[in-house]
């Protein structure tokens, strides 16, 4: 083997070693993000070489930089090569506000959910069934999945007021409005979308536990000769709304 051949061989080996080291370093960096769901609602604990850490959503990753979004909605670009650890953080929303129809919204109205402990939220609603008298709702929601997920099934328990309108036989213009109160239980879901503070959709089904007072009122009015014009009461009902999750 000539001197020039030896030199060329050494140069090729050196190039192979350099490319191997670079490939290994890229694989090492990408492995940090192997379990990351890019562009999702999930939060991650991101630790850099210099000891700085962030709790944020990861928007995108390339060889140069990693784009993150912290909980207040602002974004930052981190050097990808300096990130040494990424692990999922279990973070729940603290508050959400919704507009809709049904038990949580006390008819047609507004509902507020506030986080109180782990997967439990306190919920309260203010609304109306006839746009004259206010109704209310108070209760709780138990979420079966973490707030990191876009789809969050839940169980609900509420104490809600509801009303019925009756019309007198002798005077059709005379209306009697009665309010009743009952606990309800239900199952439903919250579906959110987006990488920032999320807009979501509520959909729940409820079972009204105590119908006795309603039917007692129907019987009492019938015994008094009062015709019940809208004799409608469902043991099962649903609610739907649009929600903003903070």
CA-based nearest residue to 137, from 109, 171, 170, 95: 109
**Bridge-partner residues for 242, per DSSP?**
99, 201
86 torsion bin: left (phi>0), alpha (psi -120 to 50), beta (else):
beta
What percent of the chain is predicted at pLDDT more than 70? 76
The architecture in CATH of the region 95-245 reads Beta Barrel (2.40)
In order of 90, 144, 175, 181, the CA distances from 124 in angstroms are 25, 20, 29, 15
Strand order in the sheet with 43-48: 75-79, 65-69, 53-61, 43-48, 83-89
pLDDT, residue 170, reads 62
pLDDT, position 242:
97
Residue with the larger pLDDT of the pair 212 and 138: 138
**What pLDDT sits at residue 26?**
43
pLDDT of residue 116: 94
> What pLDDT does 192 receive?
87
- Kindly report, residue by residue over 28-80, the tens digit of the pLDDT: 345 788 888 888 778 899 999 888 899 898 999 998 999 998 877 789 999 99
pLDDT at 23 over 50: no
Q: Which of 15-19, 144-148, 238-242 has the lowest mean pLDDT?
A: 15-19
Q: Which residue has the higher pLDDT, 30 or 193?
A: 193
- The SS3 of residue 13 is helix
Q: Where are the domains of the chain?
A: 3-89, 95-245
Residues 6+ apart with CB under 8 A from 114: 94, 95, 121, 122, 123
Condensed to tens digits (0 to 9), the pLDDT of residues 99-148 reads: 999 999 998 999 999 999 989 999 999 998 878 778 899 999 999 987 66
Domain 3-89 in this protein, CATH class = mainly beta
Q: How far apart are CA 151 and CA 157, in angstroms?
A: 20
If we measure between CA atoms, which residue out of 194, 192, 200 comes closest to residue 242? Answer: 200
Q: Phi/psi at 16 (nearest 5 deg)?
A: -65, -40
**Per residue in 2-12, pLDDT tens?**
655 555 665 55
The residues near 228 (Cβ < 8 Å, ≥ 6 apart) are 164, 166, 218, 221, 222
How does residue 24 score in pLDDT terms, banded at 50, 70 and 90? very low
């Amino acid at each position: 083997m000539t001197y020039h051949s030896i030199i060329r061989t050494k140069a090729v080996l050196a190039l192979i070693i350099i490319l191997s080291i670079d490939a290994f370093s890229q694989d090492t960096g990408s492995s940090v993000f192997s379990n990351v769901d890019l562009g999702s609602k999930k939060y991650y604990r991101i630790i850099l070489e210099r000891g700085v850490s962030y709790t944020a959503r990861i928007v995108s990753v390339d060889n140069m930089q990693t784009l993150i979004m912290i909980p207040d909605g602002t974004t930052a670009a981190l050097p990808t090569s300096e990130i040494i650890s990424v692990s999922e953080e279990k973070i729940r929303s603290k508050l959400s506000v919704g507009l809709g129809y049904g038990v949580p919204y006390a008819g047609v109205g507004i509902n507020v959910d506030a986080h109180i402990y782990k997967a439990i939220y306190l919920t309260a609603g203010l609304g109306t069934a006839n746009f004259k008298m206010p109704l209310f709702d108070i209760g709780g929601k138990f979420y079966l999945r973490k707030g990191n997920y876009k789809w969050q099934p839940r169980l609900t328990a509420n104490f809600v007021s509801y009303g019925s309108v009756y019309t007198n036989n002798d005077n059709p213009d005379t209306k009697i409005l009665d309010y009743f109160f009952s606990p309800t239980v239900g199952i439903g879901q919250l579906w959110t979308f987006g990488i920032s503070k999320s807009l979501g959709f509520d959909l729940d089904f409820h079972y009204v536990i105590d119908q006795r007072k309603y039917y007692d009122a129907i019987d009492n009015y019938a015994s008094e000769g009062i015709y019940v014009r809208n004799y409608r009461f469902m043991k099962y009902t649903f609610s739907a709304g649009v929600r903003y999750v903070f």
